[in-house]
Amino acid sequence: MGRVTDLRLAPRTGREVRVRAPGKVNLSLRVGSRRPDGYHPLATVFQAVSLYEDVVASASDELRVSVSGPQADLVPTDDSNLALRAARALAARTGVDDGVHLHLHKGVPVAGGMAGGSADAAAALLACDAFWGTALPREELHEIAAELGSDVPFLLMGQTAVGSGRGDLLTAALSRGEYHWAFGVRDAGLSTARVYAEFDDLAAGHPEPAVDGDVALLQALRAGDAPAVGALLHNDLQDAAVELAPGLVETLSVAEDAGALGVVVSGSGPTVAALARSRQHALVIAAAMTAAGVADSVLTASGPVPGARLVAGSDVL
Ligand code: C5P
């Protein structure tokens, strides 16, 4: 038991591997001018939050994906699906030519700026690695993750981290206590590439972003000082997201009026993240957003939480 060869020879019928990966909020997102490769240099502080993508790998002759959960109809199941691309990338790296069926149950808003698709990719990498018994070292999984998308490495890692490069170079950060969030979600998502293009159009010549700008935020996280964290939430992409979805101004202000410690557009938006004083207060903010009609749906969650991980009950040898 436990050897790769044993696993690969094991009968596949009915075997399942289950992996859960979180979504994220950027507590701070500082963005520089577009690089020659088309990406923007970032300095960001990520927090993984308790909205989850659940991925189940099971036997199939081919590589295929199915999707369930709210907004499932918005997720492509063709070759552009990030979980399938992750499976393909792992198969190519390891020489596996087996198939797999990946079922994604979505708990993170689709195209919402919370990295749901990247969470699928992170979960699919771990799930296929266990299902195929390829047992790649963490560093190699991270390398493949970075090729799949800027946020994928963080969703493997989870908790709290400082990101640089295009968001894929990570250093773990200390964080004390639990942070409670209310999220205002829109049915119409925003394309990340479109928001970055709008960011370029709004202004040119941005300075190289430096994590020095987040020293106070990192200190507040270490101290578990939620009001200070709330006051320091920051997103350079917010104006671009608001330009593309002007209704966000109202969502932000309703959350603020409900007493949020801080409000910010999550990543490239359009999800609005409001930091609350407690779990109960997060429900109050969510209710205020619903009552004011400034979000299509609302969610509450807490963070930080771990990155992608195998769930008990998985059939892994
Ligand atoms: O890396 P990912 O595939 O998630 O990025 C999606 C798009 O977002 C990229 O094609 C690029 O247009 C934009 N992006 C960027 N700079 C980053 C990350 C993403 O311009 N650091």
Ligand 1 nearest atom to the CA of residue 166, by list position: 21
**Amino acid letter for position 133:** G
Closest of 141, 98, 120, 150 to residue 22, by C-alpha:
120
pLDDT the model gives residue 199? 97
Annotate 156-205 with DSSP letters as a single string: HHBSEEEEETTTTEEEE----S-EEEEEEE-SS---HHHHHHHHHHH---
**Amino acid letter for position 112:** G
Annotate 32-67 with DSSP letters as a single string: -PPPTTS---EEEEEEEEEEEEEEEEE--SSEEEEE
pLDDT the model gives residue 221? 98
For ligand 1, atom 7, name the residue with the nearest CA.
193
Residue 241 is inside which H or E element, if any?
helix 238-244
Residue of 120, 129, 151, 168 marked catalytic: 151
Ligand 1 binding pocket mutation candidate from 166, 191, 198, 201 (most atoms within 8 A of CB)? 166
Task: Report the predicted TM-score, pTM, of the whole model to 2 decimal places.
Answer: 0.93
**Cα(54) to centroid(ligand 1), Å:** 24
Cα–Cα–Cα angle for 25, 209, 184, nearest 5°? 20
**Cα(241) to centroid(ligand 1), Å:** 14
**Averages of pLDDT over each 10 residues, the chain, 317 residues:** 40 79 98 95 98 97 95 94 98 96 97 96 98 96 97 98 96 98 96 97 90 94 98 98 98 98 97 98 98 98 98 74
Ligand 1 binding pocket mutation candidate from 24, 150, 194, 201 (most atoms within 8 A of CB)? 150
Q: Which residue has the tokens 């094991």?
A: 10
Is 192 a pocket residue for ligand 1 (Cβ < 6 Å)? Answer: yes
**SS3 state at 129:** helix
**Cα(216) to centroid(ligand 1), Å:** 27
Tokens at 254, concatenated: 């309703």
Q: Which residues neighbour 38 within 8 Å (Cβ) at sequence distance 6 or greater?
A: none
Closest of 187, 211, 291 to residue 27, by C-alpha:
211
pLDDT the model gives residue 10? 44
Closest of 96, 122, 104 to residue 57, by C-alpha:
104
Is 40 a pocket residue for ligand 1 (Cβ < 6 Å)? Answer: yes
For ligand 1, atom 11, name the residue with the nearest CA.
193
